[in-house]
Structure 1
Amino acid sequence: MFNDRGYPKGGPGDPFEKQQILDQLRLRVARAHGRQTNSQMRLPVYPDQDRTSLCGPAVFFYALLMDRPDLYAQSIIDLWETGETTIGHLHIKPSYACCNPKNFSNKAPGDRIPPIDWISLASLRDSENGLLNYDSPDDQAAGITFPGAIESWFVKAGASVVFNNIQLGSVNLDRLLELLGFVATAHHVVSLVNAAMVDGGAGVGKNHWILWEGTPETSNGVITPATSLEETITHSNFFSWGMVGHLVTRGYRLDQLLDKIFGGQVFTRIP
């Protein structure tokens, strides 16, 4: 169902060739759940939006990968084979344009975003769009995800909303700690942020989604209500751009971090 116009289906270099998709899925699921493999394939461990604006779908599919790797893999196989899939009550059916993206590859087949991530992330985003097809990694506007869409995806997939403190302006320390208090094995804590807080990120305003896996720390330990806003963040743990770990921009102080966070949403795990 998916075809790179630059490297057409069935031809040399076809990035959506089925065996490649299956190999990527097996490797992704294994690595994400800590299993060793002998594969030399270059593939991010977790869903990676790469050069696209698909951070919202990436957060959802990261959660699905960690909670239900079986559903994660099957949904992508379904999309490849039939052009649609259903996760709980979340129905995903991308447009013809999304399945036949333009400018999908640059110097090599599938080098702008991993093919399994286009199939999953772009399909989810495109299914939600009304007038705008998401048909290219270059398409920024059609890839934007608002908080209501994030909530809808999780709830339709079977999760429940536990907490929400997304706000117009930046959070203060108390609001951030209130949100991060939900970080646990039973919850997913998703935040709307400015990408500049992520090492290598940029932009202005609310332009990126992350998923917290731990509370940031300074040299004095985990941040608390008593932590000075001038202290530098020395450790963090969240998902963004295909990675999980300490991804806060180097040298960021706590006050700078707070300025780039606009609250978040908490969901139960996807059953």
Structure 2
Amino acid sequence: MWVMLYYKDDSGDYHELLDPKFSCMCYLPASTEEEALAINSQECVRYPESTYHTINGNDIHDYEFEIPDKGGCFRVKDLKSGQTDPFTFENVQKELDVRMLEPDKKTGIRLSTDPAYYPSQGDSSLCGMAAFYYCLLKDRHDIYFQTIEDLWLTGRTLLGMLEIKPGKSCKNPTDMLDGRGVPRISAIDWMTLAGTRDSMNTFLSYDSPDDQTAGITKAEAIDECFLAVGAKNKLENITGGMYLANSGLQEICNLNAYVGDSFHVIINIHPELLSSNDGFYQRNWIVLESKLQLDDGSNNDVTVQTPLNSLVKLTVFSWGNVNSKLLKNTNLKYFLDNFYGGMVFEKIP
């Protein structure tokens, strides 16, 4: 349950306490059936105030985020003898502990035996949802972690104006583990990425990382997610809306202008820009962490006058990794041949 604290002044007016140390997330015990039904919604909560000191000096209380061990709503359907369900309380909490590390303590590199520091689609086609949840984690980690807790405990949540309510098949997925019994996508990423994708699908049910079609995310779905949490779309130049043709130099320059601390820039590319082993996937959503620049030591931004044979470089977020880079010796023409436009969103408030 989300809790925003207010104080009442002498005139009887209420004011929000905007200082982060006064806000929190918690579950309050339900005393009536009505309160129990509203446990996952935004409500007004009355609380007592004291004029006495509750903290001495700089003694600030530090709280750790943990999910209650009450049994989750997600279970692997085809678990074999000797295999461990990744949706157990212990494993979900372990993944959260890693995901909660401060950015300066994260290496940005995903190890095959460890959960990703950042959202990752793993072996699925959920790159669009991974891009959105990466931005959500950066801007509003409180909402991000509350979403995971709600989904694990109740199987549903409200992400801003977007209801996430995955179906039974999504909550009981198949083919989640590889031949060694290792999850092909982390439990918390399946709950958030797959859970959101399944909720937004009108006809297709998403129940396996192998279901590539049901996991594909179009620009409209990413736009809906950002708008649901209050982030406006500032620019969109996806080619034709269906990615049937590549975008041009002017389009990447327009997107380049927004790369910085105030916006998220998400672009659609062919994955062979990042890896020589592109496998099944023909499109990939990534988040720009730098501008497209010349790879000649000058660090100058690419412009509409940049020759097409110029070598370029770019740092992006992709597959749980925040330091993915273009393949060595990528020139501007090759980049544009595999670039399909992008979108710009304001930071999530």
Normalized against structure 1, the TM-score is what? Answer: 0.91
**Aligned CA distance change for structure 1 residues 109 and 145 (closer, same or farther; 3 Å):** same
Residue in 2 that maps onto 1:187: 263
Confirm or deny that 1:94 pairs with 2:145. Answer: no
**Aligned CA distance change for structure 1 residues 89 and 63 (closer, same or farther; 3 Å):** same
Residue in 1 that maps onto 2:117: 45
Please tell me the residue identity of whatever aligns with 2:231. Answer: A
- What is the CA–CA distance in structure 2 between the aligned matches of 1:65 and 1:46, rounded to whole Å? 8
- What is the CA–CA distance in structure 1 between the aligned matches of 2:239 and 2:321, rounded to whole Å? 26
- Report the identity percentage: 36
Tell me the CA shift for residue 200 of structure 1: 4.2
Residue in 1 that maps onto 2:98: 27
Residue in 2 that maps onto 1:229: 308
Report if aligned partners of 2:122, 2:184 keep a CA contact under 8 Å in 1.
yes
Tell me the CA shift for residue 82 of structure 1: 0.2
**Aligned CA distance change for structure 1 residues 205 and 97 (closer, same or farther; 3 Å):** closer
Please tell me the residue identity of whatever aligns with 1:188. Answer: H
C-alpha offsets along residues 58-85 of structure 1, whole Å, 9 cap, x if unaligned? 0110011100111111101110100011
- Map 1:55-204 → 2, pairs under 5 A: 55-168=127-240, 169-200=245-276, 202=278
Report if aligned partners of 1:28, 1:44 keep a CA contact under 8 Å in 2.
yes
Tell me the CA shift for residue 248 of structure 1: 1.2
Tell me the CA shift for residue 167 of structure 1: 1.4
- What is the CA–CA distance in structure 2 between the aligned matches of 1:14 and 1:42, rounded to whole Å? 15
Report if aligned partners of 1:194, 1:204 keep a CA contact under 8 Å in 2.
no
Which structure has the bigger radius of gyration?
A: 2
C-alpha offsets along residues 210-240 of structure 1, whole Å, 9 cap, x if unaligned? 111111231142333232211222x311111
Please tell me the residue identity of whatever aligns with 1:250. Answer: K
- SS of the residue corresponding to residue 84 of structure 2 reads coil
Report if aligned partners of 2:86, 2:183 keep a CA contact under 8 Å in 1.
no
Unaligned runs of 5+ in 2: 1-72
Normalized against structure 2, the TM-score is what? Answer: 0.71
**Aligned CA distance change for structure 1 residues 65 and 36 (closer, same or farther; 3 Å):** closer
Report if aligned partners of 1:14, 1:109 keep a CA contact under 8 Å in 2.
no
- What is the CA–CA distance in structure 1 between the aligned matches of 2:276 and 2:95, rounded to whole Å? 26
Q: RMSD of the TM alignment (CA)? A: 2.2
C-alpha offsets along residues 158-195 of structure 1, whole Å, 9 cap, x if unaligned? 11111111113322222211111111111111112222
**Aligned CA distance change for structure 1 residues 201 and 90 (closer, same or farther; 3 Å):** farther
Report if aligned partners of 2:125, 2:281 keep a CA contact under 8 Å in 1.
no
The 10-residue stretch of structure 1 (196-205 or 103-112) with the greater mean CA deviation from structure 2:
196-205
**Aligned CA distance change for structure 1 residues 173 and 121 (closer, same or farther; 3 Å):** same
**Aligned CA distance change for structure 1 residues 264 and 201 (closer, same or farther; 3 Å):** farther
Higher relative contact order (Cα pairs below 8 Å, separated by 6+ residues): 1
4+ runs deviating over 3 angstroms: 203-206
Report if aligned partners of 2:126, 2:215 keep a CA contact under 8 Å in 1.
yes
Report if aligned partners of 1:196, 1:203 keep a CA contact under 8 Å in 2.
no
Residue in 2 that maps onto 1:268: 346
- What is the CA–CA distance in structure 2 between the aligned matches of 1:110 and 1:58, rounded to whole Å? 20
Confirm or deny that 1:253 pairs with 2:325. Answer: no
Tell me the CA shift for residue 199 of structure 1: 2.0
- SS of the residue corresponding to residue 221 of structure 1 reads coil
- SS of the residue corresponding to residue 325 of structure 2 reads coil
**Aligned CA distance change for structure 1 residues 204 and 177 (closer, same or farther; 3 Å):** farther
Residue in 1 that maps onto 2:52: none
Please tell me the residue identity of whatever aligns with 1:151. Answer: D
Please tell me the residue identity of whatever aligns with 2:333. Answer: D
Unaligned runs of 5+ in 1: none
Report if aligned partners of 2:83, 2:181 keep a CA contact under 8 Å in 1.
no
Please tell me the residue identity of whatever aligns with 1:170. Answer: N
- What is the CA–CA distance in structure 2 between the aligned matches of 1:199 and 1:63, rounded to whole Å? 23
Tell me the CA shift for residue 114 of structure 1: 1.2
**Aligned CA distance change for structure 1 residues 133 and 178 (closer, same or farther; 3 Å):** same
